[in-house]
Amino acid sequence: MTNRILIFNSSYPPMRCGVGDFTRQLAETVAALGVATTVVTSRGPEIETSGRARVLPVIRNWALTSFFVNYPRFVRTRPTIVVVQYPAVVPGTRVRLVFLLPLLARVFMPFARVLFIVHEFAHTAEPAKRSLRLAFAFANEIVVLNQADKESILDRWPMLRSRVRLGAIGSNVPYVAADAAELEQFFRRDSESAVVLFFGLLQSPEKGFEDLLEALVLLGREDAALWVSGTLDDSAYHAVLERMIGELGLQGRIHWLGFLTPREASLALQAADVVALPFRNGATPNRTSLLAALVNRSAILTTSGPAVPGFLHDGENVTLVPPQDPRALADALTDLLAHPQKRQKMSTDLAQLAPALDWPHLARVIFGDQIVRVS
C-alpha cells in the first residue's frame, strides 16, 4: 500500500502563523520523501501552491458547511493518513470546524488514520479544552509537541494514555551560510556596538517583550540597541507597546525589521550579539522562534520553566533566567555582551544539535514508519 497524507490547516503561508509554517515544512518534507501529500487550507489568491506538496485553498470560512461543500475533493485524494492541528489562525467566521474534523474524517475517509497534532494545550483557555475533548475522542493518535502539554492532557483525561505520544517540531528558518562581512553589515551598525534581537510573532504579553524593554533600560548601555522582527501595527497590544517604549525613552534604541524572508531571518539570527526570547511561561520545545535561533546557532538568552528542552543546558549552549525578571535579564545581557568568547562557544555547541532538528528526522518522529512507502 502507498501512503497518502491529507493535512488540514487554515493558516498556510503567506499567512503569518507558526502552525501554518509548521504545516508547510512538514508537507514539503514528506512530499520530498516520496509521499503524496495534500494540504487543505483557506481560500486566498496569494496562498503558496508551487511546492512539492499539493495545496487546495478551498475552505471559505471554516464553518461546517465549508467541509460538506468540498469533501468530495478530500475523499478523492484517498488518504491513508489525515492530519488535523490545533491551534491555527482561522480567517472569516470563527466556527471551530477543527474540533469536528477528526469525526468527519473517520466518517468520510474511514480507511485513513487520523492524527491530531496539538501545538498548545496547558495554557489553552478552558472552553477550547472542552471542545478539544471531542477532537481527541475521534483521533486515532494525539501527537503533542512538548512534555508539559502531554502531562496536562493526561492529567485531565488519563484514559487517553494509549493514544497520546510526543512528536517534535523544527525550525521554519533554515541555516544560511554567510560570510563575516555580510553578517557585520546586516544591522547597519553605526553608533551601536551591541545588538540584541527579539525574534518571533509579537502578539501578546506572553512573549515577555515588556520585560525585555525594562531590561534594556536597566542595562545602562546607550550603545545597545534592540532589533525586533516585524513591525508595530494598529492592534491594541501594539499600541500598549508603543506607549511603553515612549514612556521608557527607548524610541531611538528600538528598530523594527519588518517582514523577513527565511534568508533574512537566518542572517539576523546569526548577526545579532544576543537573541533574547524571555517567554513568560518559560522556554518549551514547540517555540518556533527558539528553534529558529537554535538552528541558526545564536547566542540565546531565554527563560527557565518546567518544560525547557532537555538538550538545552544553562551556561553551556544557552543562558536561562527566571521569567518576568527584567533585572535578571539585564544582568545576563551584560554578561553575554561583555564576553564574546562565551557567545561563540554557545554557537559552536548549538551546531552539534543540527541533525536532531532537521525536518526529515522530525517528520519520522511525527509519522513513524507510516511515511515510508510500503509495496
Query: Do 212 and 124 belong to one domain?
Result: no
Q: Is 373 within the bounds of a domain?
A: no
Q: Is 288 within the bounds of a domain?
A: yes
Query: Do 158 and 202 belong to one domain?
Result: no
CATH number of the domain encompassing residue 273:
3.40.50.2000
Would you say residue 83 has pLDDT above 80?
yes
Q: Is 191 within the bounds of a domain?
A: yes
For residues 298-312, average pLDDT: 93
Query: Do 235 and 140 belong to one domain?
Result: no
pLDDT at 370: 58
Edge-to-edge strands, sheet with 54-59: 54-59, 36-42, 4-8, 81-86, 113-118, 141-144, 164-166
Q: Which of 268, 183, 192 is nearest to 223 (CA)?
A: 192
- Determine the 3-state secondary structure of 227 from DSSP: strand
pTM: 0.78
Query: Do 212 and 345 belong to one domain?
Result: yes
Q: Is 56 within the bounds of a domain?
A: yes
Query: Do 144 and 186 belong to one domain?
Result: no
350, 294 contact by CB (below 8 A): yes
- The DSSP bridge pattern shows strands 254-256 and 274-277 to be unpaired
Q: Is 367 within the bounds of a domain?
A: no
What's the rounded Cα separation, in Å, for the pair 83 and 290? 24
How many domains in the chain?
Answer: 2
Q: Is 374 within the bounds of a domain?
A: no
pLDDT, tens only, 319-371: 999 999 999 999 999 999 999 999 999 999 998 887 788 888 889 889 976 56
What's the rounded Cα separation, in Å, for the pair 18 and 26? 12
Place of cell 481560500: 43
Query: Do 86 and 126 belong to one domain?
Result: yes
What's the rounded Cα separation, in Å, for the pair 8 and 109? 14
164-178, 199-213, 321-335: the lowest-pLDDT one: 164-178
| Domain-ending residue, one of 167, 200, 216 | 167
pLDDT, tens only, 231-261: 999 899 999 999 999 999 999 899 999 989 8
Query: Do 11 and 143 belong to one domain?
Result: yes
Query: Do 329 and 192 belong to one domain?
Result: yes
pLDDT, tens only, 88-117: 776 554 557 889 999 999 999 999 999 999
Q: Is 197 within the bounds of a domain?
A: yes
Domain that holds residue 130: 4-167
Q: Is 209 within the bounds of a domain?
A: yes
